[in-house]
Chain A
Amino acid sequence: MRVRPKSNRDDVGDLPLTPMIDVVFLLLIYFMVTATITPPESRVASTLQGERGAGQARDLKPQIVTVDLTGEAVTYRLGSRVFADRDSLSAALEQLPKEGGLFVRVTDRAPWSAVAGVMQDALDAGFVKRTYVPAD
């Protein structure tokens, strides 16, 4: 009687890769179609105004930018000066002393895009301390 050593190679079937590749391809298409590409978010930090009359030293005159909406146009008031565009405002902010910080006073009707723009301009001008103040 001839005894042949059993080969394991015959017991293993061939794995069909085609269906698996089909599935992977479908999943890839699904995720590509449903994925949304969004740019990374940034942030601009500021502080909220504390309670008034809290005993803080008032050696420096506060520098206040008021953001408002007049008619359809956004206006930026810095002291007695009124700016109609951000470029002139940012140029004026560059000239201000930075150690006292900047208060950004915002009226209820001001568009948020303009408020964020002023905060960005204050940041770019070098104001480390930026305070958000809701207008009364």
Chain B
Amino acid sequence: MLIGSKPSRVRFTVNMTPLIDVVLLIIIFFLYTARFAEVSRTSVDLPDEPGTADATTDPDALLIDVRSDGVFLVNGRDRSLERVLEIVQEQAERAGGPENLRVLLRADRGTAAGPVNNLARQLTRMGVRQWSHATVDRSGRG
């Protein structure tokens, strides 16, 4: 018995193109709106020395950057020396005392040592003893 027309074979095709277009737009949106530099290290022209250890192996150290013009940066933001010292005080309390705090100084190789000396004097008064400075081995000597 033939009722109506013969049903044609259903072919269900998933069209991926609009979906991928939307995903691409979303990815572009997030790539442009993301704030990658918030916690990343500031670009500083470090002294060209082999050093001893990987500077990234001490995640608990307080990073203080010094630009070539002598301006201090903590977490990528310009800070006055007074504000830097406040941050040092906060971090020292978290570390259980200034003697336990480790400071990693990332000073530009073109800067004069004056700002670094000012910082060192204040850190000494606060009781901070452990500090190291970052270098970069561009020639691969290390």
Binding site for B on A (CB under 8 A): 1, 10-16, 19-20, 23, 26-27, 30, 38-51, 67, 69, 106-113, 115-117, 119-120, 123, 132, 134-135
Which residue of the partner chain, among A13, A20, A30, A67, contacts B31 with CB atoms under 8 Å? A30
Binding site for A on B (CB under 8 A): 1, 9-17, 20-21, 23-24, 27, 31, 46-56, 58, 66, 104, 106-114, 116-118, 120-121, 123-124, 128-138, 142
- Knowing A47-B129, A50-B129, the reply to whether A13 touches B17 (Cβ < 8 A) is no
Q: Which residues of chain A have C-beta atoms less than 8 A from B14's C-beta?
A: 13, 15
> Which residue of chain B lies nearest to A119 when distances are taken between CB atoms in the complex?
B133
A111 lies within 8 A of B131 (CB): no
> Which residue of chain A lies nearest to B142 when distances are taken between CB atoms in the complex?
A42
Q: Which residues of chain A have C-beta atoms less than 8 A from B1's C-beta?
A: 1
A134 CA / B111 CA spacing, docked (Å): 15
Q: Which residues of chain A have C-beta atoms less than 8 A from B128's C-beta?
A: 48
A135 lies within 8 A of B117 (CB): yes
Nearest 7 Cβ contacts at the A-B interface: A42-B51, A13-B13, A116-B47, A134-B117, A108-B114, A41-B55, A113-B109
A49 CA / B9 CA spacing, docked (Å): 86
> Which residue of chain B lies nearest to A124 when distances are taken between CB atoms in the complex?
B50
B16 lies within 8 A of A19 (CB): yes
